[in-house]
Amino acid sequence: MSRIDWEESYSVNNEEIDNQHKTWIAIYNELDKTMLQGDLKEIDNITAGSLQKMQDYARYHFSFEEEFMQKIKYPDLVNHRRIHKDFDTEIYNYYRAMLDGQLVLNTKIIKLIRNWLIDHILQEDKKYRLFLEKHSNQT
């Protein structure tokens, strides 16, 4: 597994959203570190807590970001909101399965979360950055 280090290429040119992305990356890095260094006896409890923390923060961030997109009249808000909902559902299902003893958080799931986070910032979130840049150039 590998930690994520903030890169300027992740910036959406909005300080608050960039800071939220940095916080979310830090939460992911905590989860990654726990998987690498955690005590095997405690790892399920720790990772379940970390996964819950990630979901809680994601919900906060998604709400903020969607409100921002609504304010700027971002035309792809409905699709972006659906992508957020799908990720939230996926994380919730992993969390519930862990609590029910049906799933052990493993490197495959961590990698999936990592890839989703980076891809979402670089692809989906960049779309509203480009929309804003184009819109501000027209005024």
Residue 96's CB is within 10 A of a number of other CB atoms, namely 12
> In the structure, what pLDDT confidence band is assigned to residue 18 with cuts at 50, 70 and 90?
very high
For 57, 99, 135, 137, the CA distances from 124, given in Å and listed in that order, are: 18, 31, 17, 21
Q: Which of 118, 127, 11, 23 is nearest to 69 (CA)?
A: 127
**Any domain includes 60:** yes
Report if residue 5 sits inside a domain: no
| 6 assigned to some structural domain | no
Is residue 98 in a domain?
Answer: yes
Please indicate, yes or no, if residue 43 is contained in any of the structural domains: yes
Number of domains in the chain: 1
Q: How confident is the model at residue 110 (pLDDT cuts 50, 70, 90)?
A: confident
For the chain, give the percent of residues with pLDDT over 90: 58
Distance (Å, rounded) from C-alpha 104 to C-alpha 124? Answer: 29
Q: In which domain, by residue range, is 112 found?
A: 15-138
Gap between the Cα atoms of 66 and 124, Å rounded: 12
The answer as to whether 8 is a domain residue is no
pTM of the predicted model, to two decimals? 0.86
129 belongs to a structural domain = yes
Give the count of alpha carbons within 13 A of 1, CB side only.
Answer: 21
In a domain, 9, yes or no: no
103 vs 85, more confident: 85
Domain containing 115 — which CATH number? Answer: 1.20.120.50
